Structure 1
Amino acid sequence: MADLRAGLVGLGQMGRHHARVLSSLEGVELVGIADPAPQLDRTNAHLNVVPRVEDLLALGIDLAVVCVPTSSHEAVAVQLAEAGVHALIEKPVAPDVASARRIAAAFTSAGLVACVGHIERYNPALQELRRRLSNGELGAIYQIATRRQGPFPARIADIGVVLDLATHDVDLTAWVTKRSYVTLSAHTANRSGREHEDLVAAVGTLEGGIVVNHLVNWLSPLKERITVVTGERGTLVADTIAGDLTFYSNGLAPVSWDTLASFRGVVQGDVIRYAIPKREPLVVELEAFRDAVGGGNRRVVTVEDATHTVEVAETMLRAAATGEAQTVGEVVTT
C-alpha cells in the first residue's frame, strides 16, 4: 500500500514539531505545507511550502494537520472536509461550541476522520494513570487537582489561558476518569495587559461527585504540568513534562492512646515511582491519526470529545464572569 499523502497547514511553533514527525512517520509522506509567511531555517528549508490551502490541496493529499490560530480552525477544517481530506486539528478544536459542532458536522457528512490534538492523552504518565484508575487501584476517586503553569506565550493572541491551556486539563481529567463535568466555579484575571485572561483558578465536580481543581496561568517562570488524583487507597501523581507517574499509598498509623485506640488515620505509606516506556506523545498521536485514516484502531480524540472540552471552557469563563457556579452546558439567557 502506498504511503498516505499528508499536508500541514501552519508552520508555527507547533506546526514545526508536526512537520518533523510527519517527515519520518512510517506509512506517511509529507508532500507540502501551507503557510503564507513561513519561518524557514536549516531544519525545514527542504520542505515544500506553498502559500495557500488551495495550493496544498492541489498537491493531492489524503490527510492534513491543522496548526493555525484557533480563530481560523473552522474555515480551514471545513475547506479540508469539502475537499475530502481527513484532518487532525490542534486543540482547542474551535473558539466556541457552535463552531466545534459545525466542524464535526462537516466531517461526519463527508464520512471522513476528524480528530483533535489533545496531546496529553498520549503522554505515557497519563496513559498509565488511566489504566491504573480503570483497574480500580485507587478505589473510589475523591479528587483531581491539576497545576499547569509557565511563561507567557507571545505566539498566542486570539484566545486566553482557559481555551489554550486549561483545555488540556479539562480533557485529560474527563479522559482518565471517564466522567463528564457537571458544575464549575472559577476566577480569572488579566495581568499582562492583553485582551484575554492569563490566569484561572477553577473548582468543579464530575459525574459521581468527584471534586476537581484546576490552577492554570501564563505568568510563572516555573513550568509545571502536574495531575494529582486522590482516592480511598492513596494518591497518584503524574508529571507530564517528565512522563513520570508516582503512587503514594495510604499508611495506617498505630495509635497507643486508649481513648483513640479505634482511630485509624491516613498517613504516608509506601511511595512507588513506576517504570513506564516513554515514547514521544506527538509521535504516538500522529500514529493514531494515521491508523484511523487507514481504517485501523481509532485511538484518536474525537471532535465530539473536544466539543465537550470547549463547552467546559465556556462554562468556566461564564462562571468567572458571573461570579456564580455554573452547570456545564446550561446557558442562562436574559
Structure 2
Amino acid sequence: MTAAVRPPYRVGIVGCGAISRNHLEAFAALPEAVVVAVCDVDADRARSTAERWGIEHAYGSVEELLAAGVDVVSVCTPHPTHEAVVLASAAAGAHVLCEKPIATDLAAAERMVAACDAAGVRLGVLFQRRFWPAAQRLRAAVDDGTLGRPILGHASVLLHREPEYFSSAAWRGTWASDGGGVLMTQAIHYIDLLQWLMGEAVEVHGHIGTFRHAIEVEDSATAVLKFASGAMATLSASTAASPSLGISIRITGETGATAELSEFPEGTDGRVTIWARGGAIESEQVHPADVDPNVDLAAINGQLIPHHTAQVRDFVSALSANDGTGREPAITGSDATAALRILLAVYESSRTGSPVRLNQTATQEALA
C-alpha cells in the first residue's frame, strides 16, 4: 500500500518588511510548503506583498492570519514584537520560525520556548550563517578532533552603517523598539556561531559605547567570555567602522590547531581563511583590494537568501517529527535563547562594571 502524501504545509508570513523577501523566496523554493497568507500592521503593504508574490490572502492582523488556518508562521516583525506573535501562533497550534533575535529580554524568550513546548509545536529561530559550508566545516573539525575541544576563540564584527540606516526606520537605534544596537541586530549572528562552536558560556565581562551614530543604543561593544569547558573567548563588535572590515570567527583547539572563518564583504558566504595545523598554515586573503567593503542592507539580505532557504528547508523537514519520524530543527528556541543570554550579559556587565554569571542576567526592561 502506497503511503499517503502529505499536502504542503500552509505558511503565513507575519511582517512584510525587507527581511520578508528572504522568507518568501525560501518557502517558494520548497515543494513541501506554500505561503497562503501574509499580514502586516500596514494592511496596504500586506496587500501589495500578496499581489506581488501571488499569495491568496493578505491581512492586517496576526489574529486574522491564524484564523485562516495556517500550519506554520514565519515571524518577520521588529524584535520586541516577536513574543506576542509566537505566543498567539503556539496557542493556535501553528509551528513557528522566528527571525533573530528570538526576543529582546530573557523572560520573553523563555516564555516563547515554554509556550511552544506546551502546545507541541516546533520553534525555530533564524541563524542562517550556521548553514554556511565553511561554518559546518569548523563544527566538524571540533567534533572529529581535528581542532579538539576549543580553548580560545575570538569574534570580530567590524561593520559600516550610514546614518540613514537608522533614520530610515523609526524603530532602529532605540532600546524600546530595537532592543539594543550592534549586539542585538548584527553581532548576535556571530555570538551564536561562537557559542555553537565553543559550547555553553557561563560568564561574561563586557562594555558597550556609542561613538559614531546618533542613537540611544550601542554602536560598539567588547566582551570576554568564559565557557563551561574552561575555554575563553573575546568579542568585539561595531557598526562605526568606515570602511567595513567584515566579520571573522577564530577558534583554537586543544590540539593546537587554529581555524578562522571570515565574512567579507558582509552578507557573502563565510569562508575558511586560516587553517593552521600540523606545522602548516593554509590562508586566504580576507580583504581583496577590488571588493567594495560597504554593502547596503538590501544586497546583504539578498545574498543571504540561499542560507535562509537551507534553514527553512531544515525547519520544514523537522516538522515530520509530529509523525514520529522527525527531529528538532537545527536551531531551536533554546539555542537562540543561549545567544540572547550572552549579549544581555554584556549589557548588564557594562552597566555594573562587573562580570556577570549568566544565570544572573537582567531582563531587558531593567536596561532601558
* TM-score for the superposition, normalised by structure 2: 0.78
The corresponding residue for 1:228 is 250
Which 5+ residue runs of structure 1 have no aligned equivalent?
253-268
Relative to structure 1, is the Cα distance of residues 36 and 42 closer, same or farther in structure 2, using a 3 angstrom cutoff?
closer
Letter in 2 for 1:329: N
- Letter of the 2:244 counterpart: L
C-alpha separation in 1, matches of 2:149 and 2:85: 43
Q: Does 1:271 align with 2:276?
A: no
Q: Which amino acid aligns with 2:209?
A: A
Matched residue, 2:342: 312
Alignment partners' CA distance in 2, 1:176 and 1:312: 14
Shift of 1:42: 11
Give how far 1:28 is off: 0.5
Aligned to 1:166: 187
Q: Which of 243, 249, 260 is the aligned partner of 2:270?
A: 243
Which residue does the alignment assign to 1:36?
A: 41
Instruction: Tell me how large the CA RMSD over aligned residues is.
Output: 2.5
- Residues 9, 32 of structure 2: 8 Å contact kept: yes
Equivalent position of 1:111 in the other structure: 120
Mean alpha-carbon deviation: is it higher for 294-303 or for 122-131?
294-303
1:83 CA drift (Å): 0.9
Structure 1's 45 and 30: CA in aligned 2 closer, same or farther, altered over 3 A? closer
Partner Cα distance (1:235, 1:138) in 2: 7
Structure 1 position 303 matched with structure 2 position 329? no
The runs of at least 4 aligned residues of structure 1 exceeding 6 Å deviation read none
- Which residue does 2:63 correspond to in 1? 54
Q: Which residue of 2 aligns with 1:77?
A: 86
Residue 315 of structure 2 corresponds to: 289
1:184 aligns with 2:175: no
Bigger shift: residues 214-223 or 108-117: 214-223
With 214-223 and 183-192 compared, the bigger mean Cα shift is at 214-223
- Equivalent residue, structure 1, for 2:72: 63
Q: 1:248 to 1:43 in 2, by over 3 A?
A: farther
Q: Match for 1:139 among 133, 138, 148?
A: 148
> What is the distance in 1 between the residues matched to 2:116 and 2:278?
51
User: Given the alignment of the two structures, is residue 20 of structure 1 paired with residue 25 of structure 2, yes or no?
Assistant: yes
Change (3 A) 1:42 1:99: closer
The 3-state SS of whatever aligns with 1:13 is coil
**Further displaced range: 195-204 or 221-230:** 221-230
Counterparts of 1:64 and 1:141, CA distance in 2: 36
Residue 305 of structure 1 aligns to a residue whose secondary structure is: helix
CA shift, 1:140, in A, is 4.3
The secondary structure found in structure 2 opposite 1:197 is coil
Greater fraction of residues in strand: 1
Equivalent AA in structure 2 for residue 270 of structure 1? I
Structure 1 residues 49 and 23: alpha-carbon distance in aligned structure 2, compared to 1, 3 A threshold: farther
Letter in 2 for 1:190: T
Q: How does 1:183-202 map to 2 (within 5 A)?
A: 183-191=203-211, 192-202=213-223
Identity %: 27
Query: How far did residue 251 of structure 1 move?
Result: 6.3
Q: Does 2:234 match 1:207?
A: no
Q: Secondary structure at the match of 2:13?
A: strand
Contact 2:9–2:34 at 8 Å: present in 1 too? yes
Output the CA distance in 2 between the equivalents of 1:141 and 1:52: 46
Secondary structure of 1:294's aligned partner: helix
Q: CA deviation at 1:14?
A: 1.3
Q: How much has 1:135 moved relative to structure 2?
A: 0.7
CA deviation after TM superposition for structure 1 residue 15, in Å: 1.3
Q: Count how many residue pairs are aligned between Structure 1 and Structure 2.
A: 312
Q: Deviations over 1:249-282 (max 9, x none)?
A: 2565xxxxxxxxxxxxxxxx23167xxxx99211
Kindly provide the amino acid, as one letter, of the partner of residue 236 in structure 2.
L
